[in-house]
Structure 1
Amino acid sequence: MDFELSVEQNLIRRQVRDLCEQFGDEYWREKDAEHEFAWEFYEEFADGGWCGVTIPEEYGGQGYGVQEASIIQQEIARSGAAMAGTSITSHHVFSSAPLVEYGTDEHRERYLPKIADGEVMVCTGVTEPNAGTDTSQIETFAERDGDEYVVNGQKIWTSKAQEADVIMLLTRTRPREARDRFGGLTLFFTEFDRDMDGVDVSEIPKAGRGAADSNEVWFDDFRIPAEDRIGEEGEGFTYLLSFANSERISIAANAVGIGQAALERATAYAREREVFGNAIGSYQAIQHPLADSWSKLSQDELMIRKAAWLYDNGENAGPEANAAKLRASEDAIEACERAVRVHGGMGYAKEYDVERYWREVMINVIAPISNEMVKNYISQHVLDLPRSY
């Protein structure tokens, strides 16, 4: 692989950076405080054509890979938008991917062009109160009724369900069996609105990411046309799993971007703030932690580039994608905490924003899968150690 980004990739980075500069920390600070969805940012992102980054050109997208998508996610996070900004714009990477790969031509034609131009917002319904790390425990059930499925159950942590027009929904279509825990899971991509019959949406108050809502969603005899099923009945988990590495790469890019934002704010403050007659950045107690975080985040970025290159070239990216997610999320939390410490008491003040990065970056160590499970994956699949769970 070439460590140098291509001319086109550098252009993408520059254009996204220019777009994000229109929405500085003050904008995201206000949206976070007011818990308002960042529509202005999303609409500018859509108008720039970025919603279709990984959607094939024949459906109105740009047909880029995970490498380009991760560059975009990193730049958004680095701008100060943090996880709020990347959550608003990330559905083109993961939520629409199963439809691209496994949907029928008619199904793709119906949704992908509208997703690519930003007209349609996608949310994802996978996690449940008793089915987070162990997806096999999903209980939401879709029962076939002629040309429709009738869905009953509950989802949790469904981001953007307040604004969504469609949902990628994972359900059971047959009861869980001990010998085939993940069999019987079926994936749908269908119209969704919080005001539709059979749907109840309730926002979850949370520590950060106030500009992008997370929700509980209840389904009560919610009807889905059978034609909105993706692929074969009972194969939904297999379809989702094939894109898990792209999501881990995206999360790693988000984390690195937030860590870099925190590092930039901390170093700027350290150059200006004077204590005992000198800029605090002249003291090694301030310099060394920041230098350490810079080196870690730089290494994480290289691992992201490698993982994305492997993924886009059809190679096994599992070890690298999981390692990138693990290290980037942990290193980003450390960078954000160090940024708060550099600011002293003002690090706890909202006006300096590093406390917001600190709150938002925590998501990356627990989602879409915890770092403990990432370590289990590496232990079992890379180091060939016995399964521990």
Structure 2
Amino acid sequence: MNFNLNDEQRQIYEYGGQLAQSYDNVYWRDHAKRGAFPSEMFDKIAKDGFLGIMIPEEYGGSGLGMTEMALFMEGTGNHGIPLLSIVIGPCMSLPQLARNGSDFHKNELLPAACRGDIKFCFAITEAGAGSNSMKMTTMAKQKGNRFSLSGEKTFITAADVSDYCLVVARTSALDKVAKKTDGFTLFAVDLKKKGIEMQRVRISIPLTEEQWTLYFDDVDLGPEDVVGEIDNGFSILFDTLNPERIILAALCCGIGRFALNRGVEYASERNVFGQPIGAHQGVQHPMAKAYTNIEMASLMCRRAAWEFDNGLPSGESSNMAKYAAAEAGIEAVDAALQAHGGSGFTEDTGLYEMYPMVRLLRTAPVNRELCLSYIGQKVMGMPRSY
């Protein structure tokens, strides 16, 4: 396991700095405050070829892996320009189509998505199920070789600007299957289909992507919309959930570095009582501790990505990375804010806006308690706690 980056990986990691020359944190904050999707920045990322990092070259991508995807996200986070749309589309949805999609998905949708001509979102969460996906009630009832999709999904990121949604639904009811993980099927759903409505979920966090509830009312789907095998979708869900944990861990590490860089700069320049405040251990040590935790979380994130890319079980590392990075990100932003004093809460500083996002990622998309329960049970061998 080698964490030294090759030239291509280094270029991907450093791309955030190039992107920030045109679309910096000020640009991101302006859009986040308005809940406006940053179309110009997204189009630039598409033009530069980064939407298809995890997609084979034959379908319009770069043929790289989770490691490069995480480096991209961490690198953009380093400059205060985090994009959740990269998580739900290029990281979670598109690789599923490349591995398990139909010829139409691979030859038509993937090239268009890699070019940025169409966008994908991902729908698994339901209000009545939450983290217990076994209890989801969205059903795709089979009628001959077609399906009728009904139900609702909530907290769907960027659904309003997406063309397709990768939807996780039951094709067999929970009380009709031998194992509770049976009966799930994934569908690539065209959001222009009849019977789909959406309602905004208003959250208080400034983000460039809004959250939505999707309502499906007898939406007609065909065999061409199925991703993978009917009733066997749960087995491939982990190909999306572990990458989600990895890439969000990378995002937290990047945001933490961005905040600490701002904190160090301010603490080195701000003079009080005849010397820079960064010379005082009360200011210096919290940021040094946070920096240490960010770098350790980043290493765990890269380990998890390496395991995933090499076909090894990555649940252990993915959960540890997600837990550690969210905690470290919160600690880093908080330490940088404290170093700034009152100026940390001014709009010009551009720092406080990072806090709600990292705090969100302690809770979503999987909360820290479930990460710890996974580690306690699956890794350490303790009794199941839920």
In the superposition, the TM-score normalised over structure 1's length comes to 0.95
1:45 aligns to what SS in structure 2?
helix
Distance 2:251 2:85 in 1: 9
Mapping of residues 108-257 of structure 1, within 5 Å: 108-177=106-175, 180-193=179-192, 196-257=193-254
Aligned residue number for residue 267 of structure 2: 270
**1:47-101 C-alpha deviation (Å, 9 max, x unpaired):** 101111001111010010100000000011121113xx24346511111222211
Aligned residue number for residue 107 of structure 1: 105
Aligned residue number for residue 35 of structure 2: 35
1:156 aligns to what SS in structure 2?
strand
CA apart distance, 1:103: 1.7
Residues 173, 183 of structure 2: 8 Å contact kept: yes
Residues 53, 63 of structure 2: 8 Å contact kept: yes
Q: 1:381 aligns with which of 374, 378, 382?
A: 378
Distance 2:324 2:296 in 1: 9
CA apart distance, 1:21: 2.8
Aligned residue number for residue 340 of structure 1: 337
Q: 1:307 aligns with which of 289, 296, 304?
A: 304
CA apart distance, 1:42: 0.4
Q: Which runs of 5+ in 1 are unaligned?
A: none
Letter paired with 2:185? T
**1:157-212 C-alpha deviation (Å, 9 max, x unpaired):** 1011101111100111121128522221111012114xx42111112121324311
CA apart distance, 1:315: 1.3
Q: CA RMSD in A?
A: 1.6
Is residue 282 from structure 1 mapped to residue 279 from structure 2 by the alignment?
yes
Distance 1:336 1:89 in 2: 21
Letter paired with 2:357? E
Letter paired with 1:175? A
Distance 1:202 1:349 in 2: 32
Letter paired with 1:132? G
Cα distance change of structure 1 residues 109 and 53 upon mapping to structure 2, 3 Å threshold: same
Aligned residue number for residue 347 of structure 2: 350
**1:9-66 C-alpha deviation (Å, 9 max, x unpaired):** 1122233421233211211121122221110110111110111100111101001010
Distance 2:50 2:357 in 1: 23
Letter paired with 1:151? L
Distance 1:375 1:116 in 2: 35
CA apart distance, 1:361: 0.9
Residues 15, 72 of structure 2: 8 Å contact kept: no
2:186 aligns to what SS in structure 1?
strand
Cα distance change of structure 1 residues 90 and 273 upon mapping to structure 2, 3 Å threshold: farther
Cα distance change of structure 1 residues 2 and 55 upon mapping to structure 2, 3 Å threshold: same
Residues 21, 79 of structure 1: 8 Å contact kept: no
Is residue 65 from structure 1 mapped to residue 65 from structure 2 by the alignment?
yes
Letter paired with 2:271? E
Aligned residue number for residue 78 of structure 1: 78
1:142 aligns to what SS in structure 2?
strand
CA apart distance, 1:225: 2.1
Distance 1:241 1:9 in 2: 25
Letter paired with 1:15? Y
Residues 13, 74 of structure 2: 8 Å contact kept: no
Distance 1:68 1:241 in 2: 19
**1:323-363 C-alpha deviation (Å, 9 max, x unpaired):** 11111111111111111111112222232121111011122
Letter paired with 1:269? Y
Identity of aligned residues (%): 33
In the superposition, the TM-score normalised over structure 2's length comes to 0.96
Distance 1:214 1:75 in 2: 24
Aligned residue number for residue 97 of structure 1: 95
CA apart distance, 1:314: 1.2
Distance 1:280 1:167 in 2: 50
Is residue 9 from structure 1 mapped to residue 6 from structure 2 by the alignment?
no
**1:104-157 C-alpha deviation (Å, 9 max, x unpaired):** 333311211111111110011110101221001111111123443111111101
Question: Which deviates more from structure 2 when the two are superposed, residues 57-66 or residues 303-312?
Answer: 303-312
**1:290-335 C-alpha deviation (Å, 9 max, x unpaired):** 1111111111111112111111111122211111111111111111
Cα distance change of structure 1 residues 272 and 90 upon mapping to structure 2, 3 Å threshold: farther
Question: Which deviates more from structure 2 when the two are superposed, residues 97-106 or residues 337-346?
Answer: 97-106
Question: Which deviates more from structure 2 when the two are superposed, residues 85-94 or residues 255-264?
Answer: 85-94
Question: Which deviates more from structure 2 when the two are superposed, residues 221-230 or residues 65-74?
Answer: 221-230
Distance 2:32 2:266 in 1: 22
1:80 aligns to what SS in structure 2?
coil
Letter paired with 2:170? R
Distance 2:225 2:366 in 1: 27
Letter paired with 1:130? G
Residues 73, 90 of structure 1: 8 Å contact kept: no
1:29 aligns to what SS in structure 2?
helix
2:188 aligns to what SS in structure 1?
strand
Letter paired with 1:142? A
Residues 168, 189 of structure 1: 8 Å contact kept: yes
